[in-house]
Structure 1
Amino acid sequence: MQKNYGFHLGVILYIVGMSFFQQTFSFMGLNVFLAWLPIVFGQLFMKLDSGWHWLLGLLWLLFFPNIPYLLTDLFYLTSLDIYRPNGLFSATFPDWWSFLLLVLPILMMVFIGMGQVFSLLKTVTLDLKQQVASLTILAFLSGIAVYIGRFERIHSIELLIHPIKTVTLLIGDWSMAKVQFVALYSFIQLSIWGLIYFLQKMSKEE
């Protein structure tokens, strides 16, 4: 984690700044914190001895959905007065500053957090088919978690506080809307992983 101290320091400063000094999108302090946790757990998983792997792996899996969940926060951009009905854009600095504070951390956390999955997969012995299957299962589970997080307002920590209620929401109540959302969100995550894989492959060829 020492090599990434700049990233972690930046995340901490962002969390503090958004939580205590920013009115617009102040909720992003908590959301980024929840998305930061699996990145930390993932790094610890790769650095510490195998005796801690089961616990760190469980914590990583528990909090990982908070990373793709951040993408749903992009809808809050509609609250900004940037796009006008006449088709023109406003150049008001406060709105564009809020735009930056929302979009930049989402892009960073999503690509770093989801890109980390490839590093985690390298720590276990899996062939290509098993890796693809693992990503598909993870995308599916995350899609369910994002659904109950966004529409049922259930946070990751509630799986520890109210396990029965949370598990019931995870595996039950399969309405058509839930099926469609989970399928769509699984596809979005797999597409992001595909893009990250493609970019990594291109960088190795250069």
Structure 2
Amino acid sequence: MRKLNYVHMFVFLSAVTVITLGLYYIAADWLDQRYFRFLIWNLFLGWIPFVFSSLTYGLGRLKWKGAAWIAVPSAMMWLLFFPNSSYIVTDLLHLTSRSSRYFSGNGAAFHYWYDLMVVLMFVWAGLLIGFLSMYQIQEIVYDRLGRAASWIFVLGGTALGSYGVLLGRVYRLNSWDALTNRELLIRLMHESVSRPSLAFCMFFGTFLLTIYLTLYYLLNARGSGPDQRSLQTNDKKG
């Protein structure tokens, strides 16, 4: 599993976030509407998993034995907020709910394409932030418990992440309700036991896992072309 420079990752994700916000404000000023301003708050919530994964990663690298006692609660907080990063995918719903504003007898209006690109940028930024945070935690599990345990973690994380999105989108539950309103959480979990909910979690979980596997492969792929071999040969000679 390739080790990443998470300082560089933070800078990269920050740049993607700035570009995303810039596109929103440009489109909002151009079209004179702020309907999608709630995406800013959702993206902020999407950053929280990366904060906790970075804290967990840093604690996991410390030789101090007591760090593990802090790293475990930090990892649990990561899991609690991880669904926020992929929840933004479901905000595509708002494009459908506003379809009457976009479509007429002449087809789609131009502002539909502006709104679509803005929403997709927020979705892309949220997914990148969430999956790089998962990669951080997987790296720790990989180093401590091995490859098999790290992939069990990924499967469990994507499954619980999809369930968290279900509770948030369908049952309107917030992440912090798990800490402040446990009775509501338990009641909604009972209500969510149904075939449609299971189907949603299976489809959304497969979606998340596929994207994560794609990201993982791109990060860990090894080049084998002539340039790569020549570089390796030069390194050996040097």
TM-score range, shorter chain: 0.7 to 0.9
Matching residue within 31, 37, 50 for 1:26: 37
1:179 maps to what in 2?
198
The Cα shift of 1:177 comes to 0.8
What is the CA RMSD across the aligned residues, in angstroms?
Answer: 2.9
Aligned residue identity for 2:121:
L
The Cα shift of 1:85 comes to 5.8
Query: Which aligned pairs between 1:127-206 and structure 2 lie closer than 5 A?
Result: 127-170=146-189, 173-202=192-221, 204-205=222-223
Residues 145 and 170 in structure 1, CA contact (< 8 A), matched pair in contact too: no
Q: 1:29 to 1:76 in 2, by over 3 A?
A: same
> Which one has the largest radius of gyration?
2
2:227 maps to what in 1?
none
Report the Cα distance in structure 1 between the residues aligned to 2:178 and 2:34, rounded to whole angstroms: 29
Q: 1:199 to 1:14 in 2, by over 3 A?
A: same
1:103 maps to what in 2?
120
1:145 aligned counterpart, secondary structure: helix
Is the aligned partner of 1:76 residue 2:87? no
5+ residue gaps, structure 1, are: none
1:123 aligned counterpart, secondary structure: helix
Aligned residue identity for 2:85:
I
2:145 aligned counterpart, secondary structure: coil
2:72 maps to what in 1?
54
Number of matched pairs = 200
1:121 maps to what in 2?
138
Q: 1:132 to 1:83 in 2, by over 3 A?
A: farther
**How high is the TM-score relative to the length of structure 1?**
0.81
Q: 1:83 to 1:43 in 2, by over 3 A?
A: farther
5+ residue gaps, structure 2, are: 1-5, 225-238
